[in-house]
């Protein structure tokens, strides 16, 4: 039996529109960035339409295998454009 964890996730750019605000709280049984990504895509299917979606943990881009702590600062970083 897995333990449910609670993560606060901040959103930037288009991801704010997709999740309906600048942050959301996620309660899930997973504890890795990849599990969080899969959870978010299932909860907000429009995220799959993004060209890329990075997840940063404590101000650093994170790989899917990275573990998460409830104290982590987690952010959704959408594709960046400009020139």
CATH of domain 5-77: 3.10.20.30
Alpha carbon of 48 to those of 2, 3, 71: distances in Å? 27, 27, 27
pLDDT digit string, tens, across residues 9-65: 999 999 999 999 999 999 999 899 999 999 999 999 999 999 999 999 999 999 999
Contact indicator for 66, 57 with CB cutoff of 8 Å? yes
Q: Give the start-to-end residue ranges of the domains of the chain.
A: 5-77
Contact indicator for 32, 66 with CB cutoff of 8 Å? yes
Q: Quote the CA–CA distance of 50 and 65 in Å, as a whole number.
A: 21
Supply 83's token pair: 């020139």
Coil, strand or helix at 54: strand
pLDDT over threshold 60, residue 4: yes
pTM: 0.90
């Amino acid at each position: 039996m897995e333990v449910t964890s609670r993560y606060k996730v901040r959103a930037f750019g288009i991801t704010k529109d997709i999740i309906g605000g600048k942050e959301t709280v996620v309660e899930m049984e997973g504890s890795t960035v990849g599990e969080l990504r899969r959870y978010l895509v299932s909860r907000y299917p429009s995220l799959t339409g993004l060209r890329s979606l990075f997840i940063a943990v404590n101000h650093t881009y994170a790989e899917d295998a990275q573990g998460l702590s409830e104290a982590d600062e987690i952010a959704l970083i959408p594709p960046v454009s400009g020139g």
